[in-house]
Amino acid sequence: MGFFEKLTGGLKKTRDSMAKAVDSMFKSFTKIDKELFEELEEILIMSDVGAVTAADICEQLKDRVKEKGITDPALVTAELQGLIADMLRGGEALKLTTKPSVILIIGVNGVGKTTTIGKLSANLRASGKTVVLGAADTFRAAAIDQLGVWAERANVPMIRHSEGSDPAAVVFDTLSAAKSRGVDVVICDTAGRLHNKKNLMDELNKITRVIAREAPGCDLEVLLVLDATTGQNALNQAREFKDAAGITGIVLTKLDGTARGGVVIGIKNELQVPIKYVGVGEAIDDLQPFDADAFAKALFGKGEE
């Protein structure tokens, strides 16, 4: 099954709630007027796009409709799909040009960080890159063992210390191993305590200082993992982490289990942080690089998965 088919299947719940409501609403109107856009805005807000982004979409859509002289409400769906794709586009590709390059995975506990690391490792290996993992979430019970299971599944080595060890020391040893082995990409797990805890941010700062010292000039991606099923709470988490941790991209998990996939649009539009990967299933290959056009097409697709 290809990415588009996986994405179409994964977005079924969101498509059934959001896109079908939009399509039905457009078909119920005989003309394009203020009431149409007010109803569209309400549907978008109910679909976890967020109030700010819903208003932005409607304003931009009004402009497009006016510029193109569209008078048939049934033709607005295609314009909406194109507008959403444009909003989501930009910065999707990981920047991994140096050897080694480093990816820090951050996020609160329970969002799927460990699973994401395993799937991302498999994805990068499939693209021809060598990977080593650093088990730098040393505070949560069983976090190291869980990451070890995923390292085995993805067939990549993992550097670990004992539980309670200094996370920055784990990162140091992982970078040393990567340099000595000529590894392309280092992926480090980090602790997932709540984002408003100062000690977590201090720990991340310490880790980034180690990276800057041991791999100066390396490409560094700081990816925030968010659970799509939490809707607007995911947007709030992203806002907090962006302010505190300098994130370079978002990984949105569990899209297949929610009707709240519209939050993807709100995150990208409000925070201007690119969506790098989306999770659309449980299998190891179900974490996929984000494609804005494919997402918008799958969101408004007429067929079933």
Residue-wise pLDDT tens digits, 117-174: 999 999 999 999 999 999 999 988 789 999 999 999 999 999 999 999 999 999 999 9
Residue 96 forms part of a structural domain: no
- 301 assigned to a ligand binding site: no
262 is in an annotated binding site: no
140 and 77 both lie in a single domain: no
pLDDT at position 305 is 38
Q: What is the largest CA-CA distance in the chain?
A: 68
CATH number at residue 136: 3.40.50.300
**Structural domain contains residue 252:** yes
Rounded-to-integer distance, Cα 14 and Cα 260, Å: 6
Same domain assignment for residues 106 and 232: yes
Looking at the domain assignment, is residue 301 inside a domain?
no
* Phi-psi map region of 292: left, alpha, beta (phi>0 left; psi -120 to 50 alpha): alpha
pLDDT of residue 61: 97
Which CATH number characterizes residue 32's domain? 1.20.120.140
> What's the number of domains the chain is made of?
2
* Tens digit of each residue's pLDDT, the chain (305 residues): 566 788 888 888 889 889 889 999 999 999 999 999 999 999 999 989 999 999 999 999 999 999 999 999 989 999 999 999 999 999 999 999 999 999 999 998 889 999 999 999 999 999 999 999 999 999 887 899 999 999 999 999 999 999 999 999 999 999 999 999 999 999 999 987 644 567 777 888 899 999 999 999 999 999 999 999 998 899 988 888 887 778 999 999 998 888 888 999 999 999 999 999 999 888 888 898 999 999 999 988 754 43
Residue-level pLDDT at 303: 41
Does residue 106 belong to any structural domain of this protein? yes
Whether 137 has a binding-site annotation, put simply, is no
Same domain, yes or no: 235 and 149: yes
Q: Where does the chain have alpha helices with state H?
A: 3-10, 12-14, 20-28, 34-46, 51-68, 76-88, 113-126, 143-154, 167-181, 198-214, 232-245, 263-271, 292-299
Asked, for residue 16, whether it belongs to a domain, the answer is yes
Q: Are 149 and 277 in the same domain?
A: yes
Query: Residue 21, CB half-sphere, CA atoms under 13 Å: how many?
Result: 17
Establish if 299 belongs to a structural domain: no
Question: Do 42 and 127 lie in a common domain?
Answer: no
The verdict on residue 82 lying in a domain is: yes
Domain co-membership, 208 together with 128:
yes
The values of phi and psi at residue 159, to 5°, are: -100, 130
Q: What's the pLDDT score for residue 264? A: 92
- Which of residues 27, 54, 88 is at a domain's end? 88
In Å, how far are 25, 38, 39, 51 from 35, measured between CA atoms?
11, 5, 6, 17
254 is in an annotated binding site: yes
Same domain, 131 and 218: yes
107 with 84, same domain? no
Does 231 appear as a known binding residue?
no
Verify that 203 and 267 share a domain, yes or no.
Answer: yes
Q: 109 among the known binding-site residues?
A: yes
256 annotated among ligand-binding-site residues:
yes
The reply to whether 266 sits in an annotated binding site is: no
Establish whether 110 is an annotated binding residue.
yes
The answer to whether 123 is annotated as binding is no
Residue where a domain terminates, one of 44, 59, 88: 88
Q: Which domain holds residue 247?
A: 101-290
Residue 170 is assigned to a ligand binding site: no
Count the Cβ atoms, other than its own, within 10 Å of residue 279: 23
* 107 marked as binding residue: yes
* 255 assigned to a ligand binding site: yes
- What pLDDT sits at residue 1? 58
CA angle, 130 then 132 then 133, to 5°: 145
Give the pLDDT confidence score for residue 244 in this predicted structure. 76
Query: How far apart, in Å, are the Cα atoms of 108 and each of 58, 111, 137, 162?
Result: 33, 6, 11, 21
| Cα–Cα distance, 27 to 149 (Å, whole number) | 50
Tokens of 259: 């009707």
CB atoms within 10 A of CB 246: 13
Q: State whether 77 and 198 are in the same domain.
A: no
Q: DSSP string of 80-128?
A: HHHHHHHHH-S--S----SSSEEEEEE--TTSSHHHHHHHHHHHHHHTT
Specify whether 70 is located in the same domain as 144: no
Task: Please indicate, yes or no, if residue 302 is contained in any of the structural domains.
Answer: no
Please identify, among 88, 110, 140, the residue that sits at the C-terminal boundary of a domain: 88
Q: Are residues 211 and 121 part of one domain?
A: yes
Spatial separation of the C-alpha atoms in residues 21 and 228, rounded to whole Å:
20
Q: How far apart are alpha carbons 144 and 162 in whole angstroms? A: 8
Q: Is 6 helix (H, G, I), strand (E, B) or coil?
A: helix
